[in-house]
Structures are given as structure tokens and as C-alpha cells.
């Protein structure tokens, strides 16, 4: 059964999202998930991978990445609640209305990233087979870490850093100017982020999708 509380929380967050135009159009989100789903996802049952990055690309360590795929959705209730909410037509319609993305026919892909010391990401745009990108930060500590996503006004021109606030995040429609990354810095703990994408039929790694045979819309 669909967790209506999760769906309602996501729709409410989209309704309240603040639009920013610099360095490119994006939306800042707060209180994205309902308390039960949020707490459940923080109890993620998979160990933190011990990896180091040399190129600044997540695909360097594909074997250590974890997705809310069909198997995890079936076995882990909070993952199912999140995936069902973002697959729901009301959430998809709210996303399209808020940011103008065209999502019909795309597939939902959600990564649960657990980043530790040594992690960094080079500036990149997500342009191509990703129709929408959203980050949701998970931080159950009182300390406000300097772990937010870095945004750029060009490939190498740093513009600003987002605040790493629990149950908050941002979204954008990938384009030629949507440069973002994660500058090398101290990570004293585990930086956890839900990375929500809607990918086109050209996405090759179908097993990463929540419902690989069921496009949204």
C-alpha cells in the first residue's frame, strides 16, 4: 500500500520550494520526507563502503554504490515508501509543474550515497539521460556540517555551497550550465544523501532503477 504520508510530504515540499536563479535555475527544498520514512531511511541496513576517489566521479566505485532497486524496495519498507511516492503520478505531476521538466516515459532511479573521508566530485552537469536531479540530505547530528553540494557558474567557477541540513536539499533540470560537484574537504563521519533521478529509456544500467519496466507518467 502506498505510504500517503510520504507522498503528501514530498508534494508539500515542492509547493513550498524556493526558486533560485543563480548560478542557474534550481529549487531549494525543506522537510521533504515524513518523519517515519526519514527515520527509517536513516536506519539504512547496508554498511558504509570504504572507498577512495582519484577521478572525482561516482562511477569510479560502481561496485560499492547502493540503489533503491527492486530488491531493496521489496525487502526494506522505508525504501519502498520513498520509491512509491516518487513513482506516484501526483508527485510526478507536482515535479513537472514546479520545474517544467518533462518526465513522462522516464524511469525512477534513487541512489543512497554514504560518503566518507576522501570523497570528492569534479564539476559536472548531469546533462544527457537524466531528466531531473534531486538531492535529499540525511543528517541526524546536531552539528551542521560543511557538506553541502557545490554549485558552479561555469565548469571551474565556484559560485556557492548549499547547506547540509537534515531532510532538506535541492533539485534542478539538467542543462548545459548546471555545473555541480563536491570540493575536497574534511568529512569527519558519514555524509548521507539520497540522489533522486528520472532517467530516459537510454539509461543502460536498468537494474539501478526502482521500477525498470515501469516508466512514470
Q: Three-state DSSP class for 31?
A: coil
Paired residues of 115 in beta bridges: 191
**Pairing, β 26-29 against β 150-154:** unpaired
- The answer to whether the bond into 23 is cis (omega within 30° of 0) is yes
- Diameter over CA atoms, the chain: 46
Other beta carbons within 10 Å of 141: 9
3-state secondary structure 131-146: EEEEEEEECCCCCCCC
Which residues, other chains included, contact 205 with Cβ-Cβ below 8 Å and sequence gap of 6+?
none
- Encode 96-124: b = buried (16+ Cβ within 10 Å), e = exposed: bebbebebeebbbbbbbbbbeeebbbebb
Q: How many helices (H) and strands (E) does the chain have?
A: 5, 10
CA distance 35 to 38: 5
Residue 184: its pLDDT value, please?
A: 94
Residue 162: its pLDDT value, please?
A: 97
CA distance 109 to 159: 28
For the chain, domain boundaries? 4-202
Q: What number of CA atoms fall less than 13 Å from residue 34's CA on the CB side?
A: 15
In tens digits, the chain (217 residues) has pLDDT values of 457 999 999 999 999 999 999 999 999 999 999 999 999 999 988 888 777 777 777 776 667 789 999 999 999 999 999 999 999 999 999 999 999 999 999 999 999 999 999 999 999 999 989 999 999 999 988 778 999 999 999 999 999 999 999 999 999 999 999 999 999 999 999 999 999 999 999 999 999 999 999 999 8
User: Does the 4-202 domain belong in CATH 2.60.120.620?
Assistant: yes
Amino acid at each position: 500500500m502506498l505510504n500517503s504520508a510520504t507522498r503528501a510530504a514530498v508534494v508539500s515540499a515542492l509547493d513550498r520550494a524556493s526558486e533560485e536563479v543563480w548560478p542557474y535555475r534550481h529549487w531549494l527544498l525543506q522537510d521533504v520526507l515524513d518523519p517515519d520514512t526519514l527515520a527509517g531511511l536513516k536506519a539504512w541496513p547496508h554498511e558504509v563502503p570504504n572507498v577512495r576517489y582519484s577521478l572525482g566521479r561516482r562511477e569510479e566505485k560502481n561496485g560499492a554504490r547502493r540503489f533503491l532497486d527492486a530488491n531493496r524496495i521489496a525487502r526494506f519498507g522505508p525504501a519502498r515508501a520513498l520509491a512509491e511516492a516518487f513513482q506516484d503520478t501526483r508527485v510526478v505531476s507536482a515535479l513537472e509543474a514546479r520545474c517544467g521538466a518533462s518526465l513522462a516515459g522516464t524511469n525512477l532511479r534513487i541512489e543512497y550515497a554514504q560518503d566518507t573521508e576522501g570523497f570528492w566530485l569534479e564539476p559536472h552537469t548531469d546533462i544527457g539521460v537524466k531528466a531531473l536531479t534531486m538531492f535529499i540530505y540525511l543528517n541526524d547530528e546536531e552539528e551542521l556540517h560543511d557538506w553541502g553540494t557545490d554549485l558552479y557558474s561555469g565548469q571551474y567557477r565556484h559560485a556557492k555551497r548549499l547547506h547540509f541540513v537534515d531532510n532538506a536539499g535541492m533539485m534542478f533540470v539538467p542543462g548545459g550550465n548546471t555545473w555541480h560537484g563536491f570540493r575536497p574537504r574534511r568529512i569527519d563521519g558519514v555524509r548521507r544523501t539520497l540522489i533522486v533521478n528520472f532517467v530516459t529509456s537510454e539509461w543502460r544500467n536498468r537494474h539501478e532503477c526502482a521500477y525498470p519496466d515501469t516508466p512514470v507518467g
